[in-house]
Amino acid sequence: MTVSLIDFRSDTVTRPTPAMLDAMFQARVGDDVYEEDPTVRALEEATAARFGLEAGLFCPSGTMTNQIAIKAHTEPLSEVICEQTSHIYLWEVGGIAFHSGASVALLPGNRGRVTAAQVEAAIRPVNVHYPTTSLISLENTHNRGGGSCYSLEEIASIAEVARRYQIPLHLDGARIFNALVATGQSALEYGRYFDTISVCLSKGLGAPVGSVLLGSRAFIQKCKRIRKVMGGGMRQAGFLAAAGLYALENNVERLADDHRRARQLAEALEAQAYVAEVLLVETNLVIFRLQDTMPAETFLARLQEQGILASSFGPQMIRFVTHLDIDDSMLEKTLTALHALAQ
């Protein structure tokens, strides 16, 4: 008998469902580098409309949408303000230096979130010694911060600082739909506060590939050239865009189920003597620290024996991510395995 894996390593591991595959097979396509793919255009327009921004750009990954936005907003000798564990700094291979030749001003966040006062204090005075502050970038939900969410008040006050200093504001919204579902915030508010937003379709929304960068029409036109030089101009990409459209239409509200299962996991973990601390769970990420008596490798290996996968997330730190391919019976099996580990 083959045991199916219960894979909590990331929400990127989901496979397209038969209904999503069907939508992909039905897609009308053309050459998108010639701007002739109707399905890519539909995805870009539908995503932009949700956030009240003018235009969108379909790209292979969230790393590419973020790095294109940073490249288009900045120039060499300038600086990006971001949180010190943000994805754009920590997990995009140093791309800010590589693609943009820009510096970073790193802020220590509260579970990844920074304040307007911290941002304002990091803006450089204009003189010959300093890089010029060219971009402020936020991440919501914050990955390293355990899926934490900003309130709209926090975002509004950071946006006020950005406007006052005339510095563009970018959002790494790889998991923005998790934030919207968890908080009940409106996507249109985000379009009012941010100049550009990067949205991932391949995380909780369950599409196999793809991210969309949103912004003004003129900005996205500039970004199209940068996507091309990065090798991200795709041809009959409508087959992939169709999965994204299907995901936007069918897989947003259900994120609430992932959030409920993440809270159930966190409650079970908090009850275990071998767990030292569980970060507050707001969305679909569960990050916790093991007691020293339970080495992380032992914990992961014993779960793996039962077909359950999670990731190591720093010394004695573990991350579980709930997603479309984790159902209640898999969750029950995992809760039983977590209790059994105490024996």
Contact footprint for ligand PLP (CB under 6 A): 61-63, 66, 87, 139, 143, 172, 174, 200, 202-203, 211
Tokens linked to 69: 């936005």
Which strands form 211-215's sheet, in the order they lie side by side? Answer: 55-59, 211-215, 196-200, 169-173, 132-139, 78-83, 103-107
User: Alpha-carbon torsion 57, 62, 68, 69, what sign?
Assistant: positive
Structure tokens at 136: 């402020």
Q: How far is the CB of 173 from ligand PLP (least distance, A)?
A: 8
In the complex, the smallest distance separating the C-beta of residue 336 from ligand PLP, rounded to whole angstroms, is 29
Q: Are 308 and 6 in contact (CB under 8 A)?
A: yes
* Minimum separation from the CB atom of position 96 to ligand PLP (A): 13
For the bound state, the minimum distance from the C-beta of residue 66 to ligand PLP, rounded and expressed in Å, comes to 6
Q: Which long-range contacts (CB under 8 A, 24 or more apart) does 324-331 make?
A: 324/11, 324/14, 324/17, 324/204, 324/206, 324/251, 324/254, 324/258, 325/7, 325/13, 325/14, 325/15, 325/206, 326/6, 326/7, 326/8, 326/258, 326/261, 328/261, 330/6, 331/261, 331/264, 331/265
Which one, of 263, 257, 243, 244, lies nearest residue 323 by Cα? 257
Whichever of 168 and 232 has its CB closer to ligand PLP, that residue is 232
Of 32 and 172, the one with the shorter C-beta distance to ligand PLP is 172
Closest CB to ligand PLP among residues 93, 342: 93
CA max distance for the chain: 69
- Kindly tell me which of 72 and 275 has the beta carbon lying closer to ligand PLP: 72
Chain position whose Cβ is nearest to ligand PLP: 62
- Cβ proximity to ligand PLP: between 123 and 185 the closer is 185
CB 82 within 8 A of CB 137: yes
66 or 134: whose CB is closer to ligand PLP? 66
Q: Which is nearer to ligand PLP, 197 or 266 (CB)?
A: 197
- Shortest distance, position 147 Cβ to ligand PLP, whole Å: 10
- Least CB distance from residue 296 to ligand PLP, whole Å? 21
Cβ 219 vs Cβ 168: under 8 Å: no
Q: How far is the CB of 328 from ligand PLP (least distance, A)?
A: 25
